[in-house]
């Protein structure tokens, strides 16, 4: 049932109740005004607030570009994700504060990229 059909039915019902004497003309007018005005607005929440957010850690071989690791974790498990990435690139532990700050700010996309030239690996961390 469409909204306009519903409003028409409500309007007809109100007029019928006035005609039958179940409600006064003033009450009917007040009800008719209420169905014409938009519903009170609710606070806007971005769609992202309702979606679960993920931390994705990707480790790539620098020479070939092939992934060595590609894992997505709920943000609630961020500590695990950072430890996992730090296992492959020891310097990653140094960026933990930056990752936490990016999450707190609501950032999205790639937030960290670290290359370990000695081992030929690149670690990328995304918030999705």
pLDDT tens, N- to C-terminus, the chain (128 residues): 455 667 788 888 888 888 888 888 888 888 787 777 555 544 444 444 435 688 888 999 999 989 998 988 787 777 666 666 666 666 666 666 677 777 777 788 888 888 888 889 998 888 88
The secondary structure of the chain in percent helix, strand, coil, rounded to multiples of 5, reads 50, 25, 30
Q: How far apart are CA 58 and CA 76, in angstroms?
A: 18
Buried residues in 9-47 as b, exposed as e (16+ CB within 10 A)? eeeeebeeebeeeebeeeebeebeeeeeeeeeeeeeeee
C-alpha 92 chain-centroid distance: 27
| DSSP tally for the chain: helices H, then strands E | 4, 4
DSSP-derived secondary structure for 42-67: PPP--GGGTS--EEEEEEEETTT--E
What's the CA gap between 84 and 76, in Å, rounded? 14
Question: pLDDT, tens digit, for every residue of 92-103?
Answer: 666 666 777 777
């Amino acid at each position: 049932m469409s909204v306009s059909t519903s409003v028409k039915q409500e309007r007809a019902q109100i007029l019928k109740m006035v005609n039958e004497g179940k409600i006064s003309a003033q009450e009917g007018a007040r009800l008719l005004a209420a169905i014409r005005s938009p519903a009170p607005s609710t606070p806007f929440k971005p769609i992202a607030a309702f979606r679960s957010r993920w931390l994705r850690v990707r480790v790539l071989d620098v020479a070939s570009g092939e992934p060595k690791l590609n894992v997505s974790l709920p943000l609630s498990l961020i500590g695990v994700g950072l430890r996992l990435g730090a296992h492959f690139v020891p310097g990653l532990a140094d960026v933990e504060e930056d990752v936490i700050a990016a999450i707190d700010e609501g950032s999205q996309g790639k937030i960290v990229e670290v290359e370990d030239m000695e081992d030929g690996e690149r670690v990328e961390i995304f918030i999705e």
